[in-house]
Amino acid sequence: MDADETLPEAGYDIGEVIGRGGMGEVLLARDARIGRQVAVKRMRSDAPSREAVIRFLREARIQACLDHPAIVPVHELGRDADGRPYFTMKRLAGTTLQSRLVGLCRPVARDESDSISLSESLVTSVSPAALTRTLLHAFVDVCRAMDFAHARRVVHRDLKPANIMLGEYGEVYVLDWGVARELGFDRTASGGIDVAALDGQTHAGSLLGTPGYMAPEQARAEQVDVAADIYSLGCILFEILAGDPAHPPGAGALASNLANAVGSPAERRPGRDIAPELDALCVTALASDPAERPTARGLAAGVQRYLDGDRDLALRRALSAERLGAARRALARTRGGDEEARATAIRAASHAFALDPGSSEAAHLVTALILEPPRTISPGLAARLVEIDARFMAQQWRSATLAYAVFFLFLPVLMWQGVRDWPVVAGGYACIAAIVILGRSALSRRDVSAPLALALNTVFMILFARLYGPIFVLPGVLAVETFAWMSYPRFVDRPWLPMLLVAATLVIPIALEALGVLASTWHVRDGAIVTTSAALDLSRGATQIALVLIALATVVTAGVFSRALAKGRRDAQRDLEIQTWHLRHLLPT
């Protein structure tokens, strides 16, 4: 039958050939009776064999019986003037999944003068990620169509991207049921081989299906069931996810089918960020043992869960358990002195909690690792703690330099009293000036030598004892000094050093005076303690004013200094508690 030929008994005006297969071809036609476009499938051979006719009629029968939105409906079955069978079906408009997969892998090269359909233009107008998601939606429709066919005990046996049509308005169709098989049909009970009795069993020396998409048992020419279609669906899903066919095209396809050493899409294309649940689902569909493959409905449900955003919870829990194990192993290494292992444990536990937020074990481990202090300090954390101590030391030196600078305000008072030993006074103020300079250095570089400053302070206090004696004014000033130095971060773990120097500051002047090395500045007479000065004239009236001012300055300095320390510690503690509060509300208890 040539193009533009009319089937007068059927009333069809035949147009161009739009598809051609091994034993049949599909032509565009117009149903003259109702004026609609249809597709006519007819046999290509002028003298087809009896078996070919039976297989052709079986295809029409199976396709007509599968009344599903994703299976092309058959309108009419008939014979032409030469007695050859044909059947008419819905005329489709769109492109094949195979064409879309080519667009997913690389741009489609075509001449600018070529016209393309809307569906073909989508190949190059959307991103690979968006196209992959679109094809996954289409794949779900294909799986549901095959679930419908399998429920009616029909096996397609030739599922491949070229046999899946994607319509211009979102329709999806499974095509070419020419080698489909009806399971469990008894040929002998029918009284012969006819369209209802043909069981589709593969003949010796023949192989039905397409290498590269057929199951291993199908490639071995064994009798197959619905599991063979699941394998073919797995090959299609593999190609959607990886952008490459599961099996190599060409002469090696059949050997690859038999070996079935496919692996997973994620292993093939690690850079494509393939969802682990889709990867696992694809591997299961490609199992060599047909019994291990899922059903078409299960395959559709798994992909749909991913598309709906409901990632496979079981897989996430398995991955979470794996990361929890890694966290425990890393935490065990911290007991052996591996300081970096704690950071590894925190990362692994955090990943486990992110994969399974409902895991109380993961939440507890993350909380413990974050909120409980480690037994050993890693170098990175140690450096951070040193930085924090440096900040506190800078705050203390800011207050300390102001306190020491107050001593310069007393220089006029000392001169008013009358200085008798200027070397002592000058030496004391030289020590104060050096301490202030060290303090300014601490504010700018945070590398001040605290022991040097403490030593200078000790010399200053010994000289200060020559002004008013070692047991009258000096103990009050030393009390403030002790409080300041004992709270200094570098001396918190070495308290013996400031305690030793402060004690020496008090003991040395008393000892030197007792040994006669220095002139005595105090003694007990008639039940009274008498104090004199080795450097000042205390007979003037300014002495009482100076002593009151010194006492007042000592109290005020102690208050200001302690307030600065308390504020710094309080602010640090509050920041820590705020962070802890947020972390405890971030993680379930």
Residues carrying an active site annotation: 158
435 within 8 A of 404, measured Cβ to Cβ: yes
Sign of the torsion formed by the C-alpha atoms of 115, 116, 118 and 124: negative
Task: Give phi and psi for 316, each to the nearest 5.
Answer: -65, -40
Count CB-CB contacts under 10 A for residue 527.
5
DSSP state of 449: -
Is residue 324 within 8 Å of 362, Cβ to Cβ? yes
Query: What's the helix, strand, coil split of the chain in %, to 5?
Result: 55, 10, 30
Residue whose C-alpha is closest to residue 562's, from 395, 349, 418, 339: 395
Query: Across the chain, how many H-helices and E-strands are there?
Result: 21, 13
The 10 Å CB-count burial string (b at 16+, else e) for 305-335 is bbeeeeebeebbeebbbebbebbeebbeebe
| In contact, 198 and 210? CB cutoff 8 Å | no
Give the position of tokens 């971030």. 586
Question: Would you state the structure tokens that stand for residue 31, as one six-digit string?
Answer: 């149903």
For residue 210 the two structure tokens come to 């397409």
Instruction: Render 486-522 in DSSP notation, one character per residue.
Output: HTSHHHHS-THHHHHHHHHHHHHHHHHHHTTSS---E
Q: Cβ distance 116 to 110 under 8 Å?
A: yes
Parallel, antiparallel or unpaired: strands 74-79 and 36-43: unpaired
User: Whats the size of the chain, residue-wise?
Assistant: 589
For residues 410, 413, 417, 420, the Cα torsion angle rounded to the nearest 10 degrees is: 40
SS3 335: coil
Pairing of strands 85-90, 36-43: antiparallel
User: What is the 8-class DSSP label of residue 274?
Assistant: -
Q: Residue 97: what are its φ and ψ, rounded to 5°?
A: -60, -30
The full DSSP string for 152-167 is: TTEE-S---GGGEEEE
3-state class (DSSP) for residue 44: coil
Name the token pair of 258: 């038999």
Contacts of 350 (CB under 8 A, 6+ apart): 366
d(CA 407, CA 395): 20
Distances (CA, A) of 519 to 63, 271, 466, 469, 523: 123, 87, 9, 11, 11
Give the residue among 476, 483, 547, 532 at the shortest CA–CA distance from 506.
476
Residue closest to 39 by CA, chosen among 80, 90, 4:
90
The structure tokens listed for 135 are 């094809």
